[in-house]
């Protein structure tokens, strides 16, 4: 905080500089930084959930539509939920938004970190089923370019991997601290191999499949994003099979990358970040946020966050000081 003081007939600078200044030499723990990234994602989701579109019929239709193609045991609760939301739209949507607001704030607020992370896992799994129809995994609609296996599932995965506990004192990467390197690598492998599988499903390798998917995102976007989508759609027109194979190969390389030596793993993680950004911009059109109808930024930024959690660390990770996260490691 600072200000200008007029004293003694002259203008002088005054500043209570210390009240807000950054303490020297203090660095943010990598896991805490990633937790804050997750918190920011929840907060963004919450604010998007307060948008006008979410209080209209479009939102309930979107929820109800996720049940299509799913087994009835999955689809029926989705339909029930969509009906319930449509009957109490204002209340339900406000609760959804506020819960996400509390999750974001709770993760950022150190004393409530564990509670908020645990709640976020439960919430994310609920939304994955009732709001995203399990990401289209069982309906055959899942594609790496439309957020498979469900963006909200990655929130839950991140919450697990960034849990404030230290199973391995000398973790090779941040995600291994809470669950151990073997489990963390296995989770990464399953996620990215599943993406590779979805890239090669018949629906996604059809000649015009990718073209149609990208072209459908163009509507309502600002000019620069429309232009990117148009160009990308033209590039993959009638090239669905070739594009799917190239994408699947890249995804498999990324999947096995965490088992490679650190220097090679870094290369594959950079590839993961690049692929995630391409998916986010081209396939997901930034989660359709710029159209005013996006409920979340979709999977792209979360995949980037996840990749950063697997970035090899050279120094031994020491447990965070007791001041953080309710007296335990953050």
Partner 1 sequence: MTPAWILDIFAGLMLVVAAVSAARLVAARPWQRGSLLIDTDVAHLLMAIAMAGMLASSLGTLSNTGWDVVFALMTAWFAFRVFVDARANGIRALAGGHCAPHLTHSAAMLYMFAAVTARAANGSGMSGMGGPSASAMEALRYPTLAFAFALILIGYSIRDIDQLSGRRYSSAPARVPLARVAVAIPAMAGAAAATATLPGPRATELAGGNGIPAGSATVEVAGSGSGSGGSAVGGILLSPAVTVGCRITMGVTMALMLLLII
- Could you list the residues that contact partner 1 (CB under 8 A)? 1-8, 10-25, 32, 36, 39-40, 43-44, 47-48, 50-52, 55-56, 90, 94, 101, 104-105, 108-111, 222, 224-225, 286, 289-292, 323-324
Least distance CB 135 / partner 1 (angstroms): 24
Q: Which is nearer to partner 1, 44 or 248 (CB)?
A: 44
DSSP at 285: G
The Cβ of residue 3 has, within 10 Å, a number of other Cβ atoms equal to: 8
Residue 116 beta carbon to partner 1: minimum distance, rounded to whole angstroms: 11
Residue 159 and residue 302: Cα distance in Å, rounded? Answer: 11
User: What is the H or E stretch that residue 227 is in?
Assistant: helix 223-235
Tokens 């989701």 sit on residue: 45
Cβ nearer to partner 1, comparing 239 with 291:
291
- Give Cβ neighbours of residue 6 (< 8 Å, ≥ 6 apart): 12
Residue whose tokens read 């309930």: 60
- Quote the least distance from Cβ 124 to partner 1, whole Å: 18
> Are 172 and 181 contacting, i.e. CB atoms less than 8 angstroms apart?
yes
* Phi and psi at residue 7, to the nearest 5°: -140, 140
Q: How far apart are CA 87 and CA 271, in angstroms?
A: 45
Give least dist CB 224 to partner 1, A: 7
Q: Which C-beta is closer to partner 1: that of 50 or that of 201?
A: 50
Minimum distance from residue 229 beta carbon to partner 1 (Å): 14
Shortest reach from residue 108's CB to partner 1, in Å: 4
Q: Which is nearer to partner 1, 25 or 202 (CB)?
A: 25
Judge whether 203 and 141 are in contact, CB under 8 Å: yes
Residue whose CB is less far from partner 1, 25 or 261: 25
Nearer to partner 1, 76 or 87 (CB): 87
């Amino acid at each position: 905080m600072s200000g200008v003081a007029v004293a003694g007939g002259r203008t002088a600078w005054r500043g209570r500089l210390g009240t807000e200044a950054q303490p020297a030499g203090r660095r943010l723990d990598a896991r805490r930084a990633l937790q804050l990234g997750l918190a920011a994602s929840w907060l963004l989701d919450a604010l998007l959930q307060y948008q006008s579109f979410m209080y209209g019929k479009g939102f309930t239709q979107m929820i109800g539509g996720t049940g299509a193609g799913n087994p009835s045991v999955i689809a029926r609760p989705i339909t029930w939920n969509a009906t319930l939301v449509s009957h109490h739209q204002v209340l339900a949507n406000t609760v959804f938004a506020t819960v996400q607001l509390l999750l974001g704030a709770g993760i950022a607020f150190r004393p409530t970190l564990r509670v908020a992370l645990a709640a976020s896992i439960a919430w994310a799994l609920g939304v994955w089923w009732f709001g995203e129809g399990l990401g289209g995994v069982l309906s055959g609609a899942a594609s790496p370019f439309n957020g498979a296996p469900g963006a909200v599932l990655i929130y839950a995965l991140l919450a697990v991997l960034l849990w404030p506990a230290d199973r391995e004192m000398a973790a090779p990467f941040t995600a291994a601290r809470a669950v151990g390197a073997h489990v963390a690598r296995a989770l990464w492998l399953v996620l990215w191999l599943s993406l590779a599988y979805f890239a090669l499903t018949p629906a996604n390798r059809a000649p015009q499949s990718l073209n149609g998917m990208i072209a459908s995102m163009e509507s309502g976007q600002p000019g620069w994003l429309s232009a990117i989508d148009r160009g990308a759609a033209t590039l993959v027109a009638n090239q669905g099979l070739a594009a799917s194979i190239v994408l699947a190969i890249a995804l498999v390389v990324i999947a096995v990358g965490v088992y490679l030596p650190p220097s090679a793993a870094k290369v594959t993680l950079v590839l993961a970040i690049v692929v995630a950004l391409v998916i986010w911009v081209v396939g997901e059109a930034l989660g359709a946020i710029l159209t005013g109808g996006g409920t979340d930024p979709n999977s792209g930024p979360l995949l980037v966050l996840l990749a950063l959690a697997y970035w090899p660390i050279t120094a031994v990770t020491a447990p965070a000081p007791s001041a953080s996260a309710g007296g335990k490691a953050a």
